[in-house]
């Protein structure tokens, strides 16, 4: 099988590529990635001799058509994904997330290639902190940022191409990921690398906002479960029952580093900060038999801390620039 992975040098995509190469020796992997600031070719180093890398734009019609025509499966991770960046300049989000998905859909339509589209739970908006509900496949879309609205748009394009043109596709909406090779602008690696440097971690607002955390390997195992056993045209939610407030995450990290649980700084809250995300992954578990390996957030995040400690050369070049940008916005 020949698999085209868009965004395969980004955080989740590169972890998917490495895991695929390591566990599925019969799969040939081609990566398409624009290598923007969030994509890093070094994330593919452990499997570089077994992966073909094409540097380019997912909205490039000719390039995408050529790559799709030679593929048996496309797994579409390519996306602009940082909410704060989408508020500063939404245009790259529209180009990559909307136009890029359209370009890919037209290519898989022409060549009748199976597609799996990877998306986010942020398309559903947010929940109240005291709301017992969780997102399900039936939850109405209610995106609250340029990022989440462009992802919602891409999801709806996939659904329309399935219904209108018979494109063979599935969709997954996943909760917040953590794990190795994640850019230091993201919440967990930012706090880990601050602690490695001997600095205090930063908590946005009061730290009450809740995210439903999942280890990136569990997410990518779910993607393969959907590709291999999912029903075409359907959507599956991916989550590992990992709800934790931002403050609780920071305190978990402080404990791992042997620091006092109150040794953190409160900083300005993020603009339009969604309150709570929570995924009900019952369908994925019962219909496809997927179960997460990392049922303990503490175990998963401790392994992630070890990775950042052991791979400073990977994250160090971007750390100072990232912190300077946060400091300029009071964070």
Given the residues 57, 80, 121, 155, select the one marked as catalytic.
Answer: 121
Annotation marks residue 124 as catalytic? no
Q: What are phi and psi of 65, to 5 degrees?
A: -60, -45
- Return the closest-CA partner of residue 75 out of 31, 27, 21, 121: 31
- Going by the DSSP 8-state scheme, the letter that residue 178 receives in this structure is E
Given the residues 33, 80, 126, 147, select the one marked as catalytic.
Answer: 147
Dist. CA 266–CA 53, nearest whole Å:
41
Annotation marks residue 241 as catalytic? no
The residue behind tokens 């390997």 is 217
β partners of residue 76: 6, 117
Dist. CA 101–CA 94, nearest whole Å:
10
**Burial code of 232-260, b = ≥16 C-beta within 10 A, e = fewer?**
eebbbbbbbbbbbbbbebbbbbbebbebe
What ranges in the chain are assigned the alpha helix state H? 11-23, 61-69, 83-88, 91-93, 100-111, 146-165, 187-196, 216-229, 246-256, 282-288, 297-310, 312-328
Annotation marks residue 72 as catalytic? no
Show the tokens assigned to 262: 């109150």
Dist. CA 247–CA 210, nearest whole Å:
9
Dist. CA 225–CA 229, nearest whole Å:
6
Give me the torsion for CA of 227, 231, 232, 237, rounded to 10°.
-70
3-class DSSP state of 263: coil
Residue 327 class from Cβ within 10 Å (0-12 exposed, 13-18 middle, 19+ buried)? exposed
Given the residues 122, 185, 243, 274, select the one marked as catalytic.
Answer: 122
Catalytic residues: 121-122, 147
């Amino acid at each position: 099988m020949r698999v085209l992975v868009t965004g395969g040098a980004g955080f989740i995509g590169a972890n998917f590529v490495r895991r695929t190469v390591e566990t599925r020796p019969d799969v040939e992997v081609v990566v398409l990635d624009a290598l923007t600031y969030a994509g890093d070719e070094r994330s593919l180093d452990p499997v570089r001799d077994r992966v073909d890398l094409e540097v380019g734009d997912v909205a490039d019609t000719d390039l995408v058509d050529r790559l799709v025509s030679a593929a048996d499966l496309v797994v579409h991770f390519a996306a602009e994904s940082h909410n704060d960046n989408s508020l500063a300049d939404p245009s790259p989000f529209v180009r990559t997330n909307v136009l890029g998905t359209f370009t890919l859909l037209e290519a898989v339509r022409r060549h009748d290639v199976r597609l799996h589209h990877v998306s986010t739970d942020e398309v559903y908006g947010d929940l109240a902190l005291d709301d017992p509900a969780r997102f399900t496949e039936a939850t109405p879309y209610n995106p609250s940022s340029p990022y989440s609205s462009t992802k919602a748009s891409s999801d709806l394009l996939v659904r329309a191409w399935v219904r209108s043109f018979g494109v063979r596709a599935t969709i997954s909406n996943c909760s917040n990921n953590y794990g190795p090779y994640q850019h230091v602008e993201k919440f967990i690696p930012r706090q880990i690398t601050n602690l490695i440097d001997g600095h205090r971690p930063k908590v946005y607002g009061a730290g009450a906002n809740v995210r439903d955390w999942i280890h990136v390997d569990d997410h990518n195992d779910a993607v393969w479960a959907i590709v291999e056993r999912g029903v075409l045209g359907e959507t599956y939610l991916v989550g590992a029952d990992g709800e934790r407030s931002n403050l609780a995450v920071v305190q978990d990290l402080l404990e791992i580093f042997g620091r006092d649980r109150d040794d953190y700084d409160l900083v300005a809250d993020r603009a339009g900060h969604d309150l709570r995300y929570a995924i009900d992954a019952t369908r994925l578990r019962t219909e496809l038999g997927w179960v997460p390996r990392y049922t303990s957030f503490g175990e998963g995040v401790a392994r992630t801390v070890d990775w950042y400690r052991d791979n400073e050369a990977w994250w160090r070049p971007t750390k100072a620039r990232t912190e300077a940008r946060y400091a300029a916005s009071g964070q």
